[in-house]
Chain A
């Protein structure tokens, strides 16, 4: 107290000024220099951790895909084969001639084919496929030939399922029958 009392007014002003300068220096240092630097460093450290984690998980993901590729080889080949059963263009343009030619090759002429309905499958996995229902009218066929033709159709067209068969004897010639087939096909949507 005695020392302070000895200080002159000028000295006290200078001490106060020095203290203010010191406070200002500390404030500026932490607010404008060290603070932003630390924040930026923390942000970068966090970004590095995130990026490294992302990179590590991505590498695992790539390995998984490689394994999946090996496992899915059979499925991929089979899928390609099933997809190849769908010809280019609109089904209404190529499916009826295909069926006509097929039955003609089996000895059943004048097959008439018409599209009854077309729509998506209810299974979500088959969004790329279209479910078409066709009616095939065979005006004249003998039973034996019909059986063989249907057997061949079922064996060569895996994505075709005959849902309904109607066979009627031809009144004038009981040896022959009129046949109507309702078949569902799964065709790849283009």
Chain B
């Protein structure tokens, strides 16, 4: 067996020493680890760039849509206001009390021996009540009876068209003056009627139920 002598033992030891230099190994490890981290960062950065492009696309779409939406919201508010206002205005129109038909009915009830000298009518703003004050003069042999006939006729006429009708004398008194009716001097009476009613028309069934049937008497 040949004898082997290592004459470069010290040099080999130094070389091995250099190779396992912790700083050098550490630097290698750091560089390797750093490269891995860099790759990981690059991957994340790539994903971020992709997300940024998605964000830009979403924002571009929103910028296109936004003015239209703002205009649409403004228009929707405007339309809502128009619809609400129209409803309220229609309500005001429907709530109105129409005086012309009432004046027509009053004229139809006034007999030739009745003269109306004053009329005052008030309708509530909500349209659910109206009051009248009618002042007149009746002329007949029984002037109070003539005034009562007018009251009844007017009351019946109102009941056909309105509800909660109340027609009552506030004042009824004989006058000293005589009126000439068909060339005949006739006694007169002065009357004032207070009238109140609800302009709501009566229901078809309710009107016939409320109106008392005339009594038939046989002699």
Residues of chain A touching chain B, judged by Cβ–Cβ distance below 8 Å, are 7, 11, 14-15, 17-19, 21-22, 25, 29, 33-34, 37-38, 40-41, 44-45, 47-48, 51-52, 54-55, 58-59, 61-62, 64-65, 68-69, 72, 75-76, 78-79, 82, 121, 123, 125-126, 128-129, 143-144, 146-148, 150-151, 154, 158-159, 161-169, 174, 184, 186
On whether the beta carbons of B58 and A48 are closer than 8 Å, the reply is: yes
Interface pairs A-B: 4 shortest CB-CB: A18-B26, A151-B100, A14-B23, A58-B69
User: Chain B 80-106, CB within 8 Å of chain A: the 1/0 string?
Assistant: 111111111110110111111101100
Tell me whether B111 is interfacial, beta carbon within 8 Å. no
The B31-62 residues at the A interface (CB cut-off 8 A) are 33-34, 37, 40-41, 44-45, 47-48, 51-52, 54-55, 58-59, 61-62
Choose among B27, B29, B89, B115 the residue with the greatest number of A CB atoms under 10 Å from its CB. B89
A61 touching B21 in the complex, CB below 8 Å, given contacts A17-B26, A52-B58, A163-B123:
no
Chain A residues with CB under 8 A of B166: none
Chain B residues with CB under 8 A of A143: 103, 107
Q: How many residues of B contact A (CB 8 A)?
A: 67
Chain A residues with CB under 8 A of B47: 41
Task: Specify the main secondary structure of chain B where it touches its partner.
Answer: helix
Q: Residue B66 contacts which of A58, A64, A144 (CB distance < 8 angstroms)? A: A58
On whether the beta carbons of A44 and B48 are closer than 8 Å, the reply is: yes
B195 to chain A, nearest CB (A): 13
Choose among B52, B83, B120 the residue with the greatest number of A CB atoms under 10 Å from its CB. B83
On whether the beta carbons of B89 and A159 are closer than 8 Å, the reply is: yes
The total of Cβ contacts below 8 Å across the A-B interface reads: 189
Complex: A59 Cα to B75 Cα, angstroms: 15
On whether the beta carbons of A146 and B96 are closer than 8 Å, the reply is: no
Known: A144-B107, A161-B96. 4 other contacts (CB 8 A): A40-B48, A147-B100, A165-B121, A184-B125
B113 to chain A, nearest CB (A): 14
Q: Residue B103 contacts which of A33, A68, A150 (CB distance < 8 angstroms)? A: A150
A6 to chain B, nearest CB (A): 11
B203 to chain A, nearest CB (A): 24
Residues of chain B touching chain A, judged by Cβ–Cβ distance below 8 Å, are 21-23, 25-27, 29-30, 33-34, 37, 40-41, 44-45, 47-48, 51-52, 54-55, 58-59, 61-62, 65-66, 68-69, 72-73, 75-76, 79-90, 92-93, 95-101, 103-104, 107, 115-123, 125
Q: Residue A75 contacts which of B23, B54, B83 (CB distance < 8 angstroms)? A: B83
